[in-house]
Structure 1
């Protein structure tokens, strides 16, 4: 076991209207909410902000939630998440060569986040502002648990398309 720190991990919950972010501590043990961004499909301000957060926090890995159906089948949302992850790789490739972007199964992350918020006393109508961050925390916690159990980064690496 090395004494080197694992490095900060960031999780991204991609939705049609918003993007939720959560980050780990430098030891990659604990996930905490960061912020919710408005999706900006035309101008890319959401991607630029995420890139800035990656740089400011010196993130090593970014997990983008991959919303599969309960049976594991891809949905239109799955394709949107893949496209978002590829765009993020493109934004990161110029300056942040050390960052890995990985797609990770996020089935039920929003449902689980909503249930936990409701259990802590947050009413459904008041969840909207925080649900995307909470879902990102669920994605990151899941990824960190897999990483700790397997000793390797979970998910599928998204490769920069240099063609």
Structure 2
């Protein structure tokens, strides 16, 4: 599986192709997509985890349908920057997915992304707890992907 440093990812991808961002949770996968110019990330979908083969099939269908050239996967590092079991699980997910469909991958530090998104949804949008539960993971995926896109422009 081609795993790239984020700064090397654009050179590995055809121009004018979107990227997908993933927030891999224990029970769900938040999915976001960029525009073809890779300037703006938007929440796309929430995949409720069933088993890997079904989850991967849904993701591959999205990737193929949108002509996606890369995945930016949130990497849940510990606060000290080390990788724990959740980060290892994200790397394993990427390896297993690559066996089914080759794709360029980069990981983006996602520390506190869900917390930041929750705060935004509460303070700025005043969403109820039930409504937040419906949007937080896909919004976190957009937050992760947008962070990566912004980092590439800096």
1:26 to 31, 36, 40: 36
Alpha-carbon displacement from aligned partner over 1:26-52 (angstroms, at most 9, x marks no partner): 1111111111001133x5111111111
* Deviation of the 1:73 alpha carbon: 1.6
Aligned residues: 140
Distance 2:143 2:132 in 1: 15
Which runs of no fewer than 5 residues in structure 1 stay unpaired?
A: 94-98, 150-163
Answer 1 or 2: which has greater helix percent: 2
Q: Which runs of 4+ in 1 moved over 4 A?
A: none
2:76 to 67, 74, 89: 67
Residue equivalent to 1:121: 126
Q: SS at the partner of 1:59? A: coil
Residue equivalent to 1:104: 108
Give the alignment's TM-score, normalised by structure 2: 0.85
Residue equivalent to 1:161: none
Greater RCO, 1 or 2 (C-alpha within 8 Å, sep 6+): 2
- Aligned CA RMSD, in angstroms, stands at 1.5
Distance 1:10 1:16 in 2: 19
Pairing 1:130–2:135 present: yes
* Deviation of the 1:108 alpha carbon: 1.0
Distance 1:63 1:88 in 2: 13
Give the alignment's TM-score, normalised by structure 1: 0.80
Which runs of no fewer than 5 residues in structure 2 stay unpaired?
A: 1-13
